[in-house]
Structure 1
Amino acid sequence: MTAANLITILRFLLVPGVVWALLSGRVDWAFAGFLTAGISDGVDGFIARQFNQRSELGAYLDPMADKVLLVSVFVVLGFMGELPLWLVVAAVTRDALIVCAVLLSTIMAKPVAVKPLFVSKANTAVQIVLAAIVLGELALGVNLGLVREVLILLCGVLTAASAGAYLVPWLRHMTGNGEGAARSG
């Protein structure tokens, strides 16, 4: 167990606190928890690289911690009416489909390479910024109106593009019609 992995595990433990804070109307605490998670993500990555603490466990835990926090925040913000439900459903469905595709591929003895695509990284970045903007608006009592709307639309487009970018190569891989393999991220 490395220091970087311990920080990642602590990020998992922040998730229930952020969700509880949101559902309890303590958006300031939720915003602080979300920012803390973001900072800790950078810190654990720095520690892993700088002190040669990269590990296979960390390679799986780190993106999982990010996704669990992001999906949880998206779902609660959708429940609160702060994000459109279509976007929440699209984001959660995309992630669930990728996980199911990887599992099915493994079960069928046709494992796929798990490498993030640029569109997926862009999608995750926009989701993080959108969640931070919404939480910040709520916590600080500001309204960035058009910024939020543009991020919602961009997030929707990137979610659809990312889903398609994984689905097509995965289908080719599973049917034997091409060299492409689905990637995750």
Structure 2
Amino acid sequence: MNLANRITLARIFLVPIIMLFLLVNVKFPHIRIEQFSITYNQIIAALIFIVAASTDSLDGYIARKRKLVTNLGKLLDPLADKLLVSAVLISLVEMNKVDAWIVIVIISREFAVTGLRQIALLEGSVIAASKWGKWKTAAQITAIIALLINNFPFAFINFRFDIVASWIAAIITIYSGFDYFIKNKHVINFSDQKQ
């Protein structure tokens, strides 16, 4: 197994560790400053999430630079991304930090685009990541970090950046999903003609 795939696997293995810090009911001390409060376990979870999310670009860069692109890597990389984002978002719903509908929209889009990619693969073509797909990922990661750190530092000026970022992530997620389907509708039409 090459270095890029090991990094991708490490991202997958970090998912349960993040969830452990977020969901295990242990009394962690709080940091309190005026109207802002956060537990140490949330800080640790946020730091691990940032490390895990940053490996997404790293493993792809290493695979392309060293010519280590493999079928296993093509399978594991998007799976790792979806596991990381989905697990943390579901944990944030459990913690009452984000509305469930936003998480349902994001996860539903991921299933739909993955299905579209599977149809394309069966037809012998590959759907590359679009610029909107990349914006979607950046928006989701930004929203998740803001939610994990309890809207720091915006809590001091009473601006709900975490909620705004969540809405922006949901809107870009929806748009990027439509963008994939509109630009690749020939994949579905072609598949229907063969049946």
Normalised by the length of structure 2, the TM-score is: 0.76
Quote the Cα distance in structure 1 between the aligned partners of 2:96 and 2:44.
19
Shift of 1:154: 1.1
- Say whether residues 1:158 and 2:187 are aligned partners: no
Q: Is there any run of 5+ residues in structure 2 with no aligned partner, and where?
A: 26-40
Q: Aligned to 1:54, what secondary structure does the other structure show?
A: coil
Out of 69, 72, 75, the residue aligned to residue 54 of structure 1 is: 69
Per the alignment, residue 188 of structure 2 pairs with 174
Q: Is there any run of 5+ residues in structure 1 with no aligned partner, and where?
A: 178-185
Residue by residue over 1:13-56, the C-alpha shift from the partner in whole angstroms, topping out at 9 and shown as x without a partner, is: 01011112111253233112212213433443443344443333
More strand by share: 2
Quote the Cα distance in structure 2 between the aligned partners of 1:55 and 1:111.
17
147-156 or 50-59, which deviates more: 50-59
Q: Is the 8 A contact 1:19 1:72 kept in 2?
A: yes
* Consecutive aligned runs of 4 or more in structure 1 exceeding 4 Å deviation: none
Instruction: Count residues in correspondence.
Output: 174
Q: Is the 8 A contact 1:82 1:134 kept in 2?
A: yes
Per the alignment, residue 182 of structure 1 pairs with none
Amino acid at match of 1:136: I
Quote the Cα distance in structure 2 between the aligned partners of 1:100 and 1:46.
25
Q: Is the 8 A contact 1:110 1:174 kept in 2?
A: no
Quote the Cα distance in structure 2 between the aligned partners of 1:75 and 1:124.
16
Pair 173,52 (structure 1): closer, same or farther in 2 beyond 3 Å: closer
Shift of 1:68: 0.9
Per the alignment, residue 35 of structure 2 pairs with none
Q: Identity rate of aligned residues, in percent?
A: 26
Out of 84, 87, 95, the residue aligned to residue 72 of structure 1 is: 87
Amino acid at match of 1:22: L
Pair 119,39 (structure 1): closer, same or farther in 2 beyond 3 Å: closer
Quote the Cα distance in structure 1 between the aligned partners of 2:112 and 2:64.
31
Normalised by the length of structure 1, the TM-score is: 0.79
Per the alignment, residue 132 of structure 1 pairs with 145
- Say whether residues 1:100 and 2:115 are aligned partners: yes
